[in-house]
Amino acid sequence: MSTVTHEGETLIDEAVFAGKIFIDGQWVAGGGGQIPSVEPATGRTLADVGLADAADVARAAEGAARAQKEWAAMPHPARAAVLRKAGALWEQYAEEIGGWNTREVGAIPPLAGFALHVTASECYEASALPSAPRGSILSSEEPRLSLAEQVPVGVVGVISPFNVPLILGIRAVAPALALGNAVLLKPDPRTVITGGVAMVRIFEEAGLPAGLLQLVPGGADVGEAMVADPHVRVIAFTGSTRAGRSVGESAGRHLKRAHLELGGNSAFLVRGDADVDKAVNLATWGAFLHQGQICMTVGRHIVHESIFEEYVEKLAAKAESMHVGDPAAGQVHLGPLIDEVQRDRVHSLVQDAVAQGAELRAGGTYDQLFYRPTVLANTPIKAEAYCEEVFGPVASVVPYSTDDDAVELAAATEYGLSLGIVTADAMAGLELARRIPTGIVHINDQTVNDEANAPFGGVGSSGTGSRHGGAQANIDAFTETRWITMRREPGSYPL
């Protein structure tokens, strides 16, 4: 398998991809036209990106189905080699791709670097999947060999969001490819270069055969066409709960599986025996990292009444000390929100909470897309800034009296993604965690954590459980199970 670029060259060349989508190994004009990729920190156009339409999805899915059969039949070391090479290439081009992540997504450089680390790790973890056991020998009451075999589904549709497009795309793309599938990738139109072009170019250079990774950016119409296409058998969607419900409903109508990783409003429970300074350090990261634009972000800070005021004061002081600005221009703690629509929504939620009686202890202001880290104390639990996913740098802090009160507050949500508990008694923290339904729990840590080999997913309105992370979750997500029996001689039946 040959590569298409060489070490030392630029991986992402605007002259090649500008205004185009990627189908069957070629950059071609998309039926949906093109839009500018805008740097949220400056408003500057970085490049034009192509958009697909429903006809492009149909062509891409048909090409993917053709390519997938030969790919699945390849010896497993060949597929593993492509994934290992992809992992090395993410590391080789980390500086270049990290620059796009900072400019296009608004990620501060440390977060961009973390995203590259996890993305490479996802490929390395996926490289072990082609040789992993995929089946079992079953007992049978008949004189035959009975097997359960897990085989590729064929074509997987991956729909990824704007906020952390590398991680939230690769965690489905890499294992799906490794297990012998082809992939249609639809990144958010606002982050096509980081979440789509970079991924295509990495796998292209890694030697992935043409047609196995098709790039079809677009809006809801493209996502609907992907879900409806008969060649696409599984949908891996990451995004808002509202959009996820629509994807799930459509997938159900078309009798196909949808793995949904959706929104969150994670609770951060601080017991009265906690070290307040350490808890505030954790809370600052969990609430304000990437401007709060992470599904695992700490939204609800539930703090024992004995340390409540100290916690609020120190968290507010920390928020006031943080630098907000262009992450590509200098060292800052927070970059910009993705666009004006998101900024205005965040600000509206903050203003509404204050109108309902929340105390604004820090932030609550913005300049262009740069929103100050915000601390609200005693937020009414019915205010949307407390009970809904904000997707902005807003920390709502409420007090509690007893452990039972804390459990009631933490569990009183439709979401169930991540949970953080800070306490001097880790076993007491575990006992509390077992009473609060979430897909992820971190005791004496904050809620925003990710490792390529760990199960990831939520319950309730946060999604359909752990469908990413770890060999078994990925195998279950991107294969079908077949029952196979074999007899030495044909069986005999009484009819």
Residues forming the active site: 261, 295
Cβ–Cβ under 8 Å, residues 124 and 84 = yes
Structure tokens at 98: 């990290």
Report CA 333 to chain centroid distance, whole Å.
22
| Close Cβ partners of 34 (under 8 Å, ≥ 6 residues apart) | 18, 19, 20, 48, 49, 50, 51
Structure tokens at 441: 């729990």
Q: Cα–Cα distances in Å, from 43 out to 176, 307, 336, 368? A: 35, 42, 11, 10
Q: Give the CA-trace dihedral at 214, 37, 286, 334, to 10 degrees.
A: 160
Report the 3 state secondary structure along the chain. CCCCCCCCCCCCCHHHHCCEEEECCEEEECCCCEEEEECCCCCCEEEEEECCCHHHHHHHHHHHHHHHHHHHHCCHHHHHHHHHHHHHHHHHCHHHHHHHHHHHHCCCHHHHHHHHHHHHHHHHHHCCHHHCCCEEEECCCCCCEEEEEEEECCEEEEECCCCCHHHHHHHHHHHHHHCCCEEEEECCHHHHHHHHHHHHHHHHHHCCCCCCEEECCCCHHHHHHHHHCCCEEEEEEECCHHHHHHHHHHHHHCCCEEEEECCCCEEEEECCCCCHHHHHHHHHHHHHHHHHCCCCCEEEEEEECCCHHHHHHHHHHHHHHCCECCCCCCCCCECCCCCHHHHHHHHHHHHHHHHCCCEEEECCCEECCEECCEEEECCCCCCHHHHCCCCCCEEEEEEECCHHHHHHHHHCCCEECEEEEECCCHHHHHHHHCCCCCCEEEECCCCCCCCCCCCECCEECCECCCCECCHHHHHHHHEEEEEEEECCCCCCCCC
CA 331, 332, 333: angle at the middle one, nearest 5? 135
- For residues 129 and 353, give the distance between their C-alpha atoms in angstroms, rounded to a whole number: 48
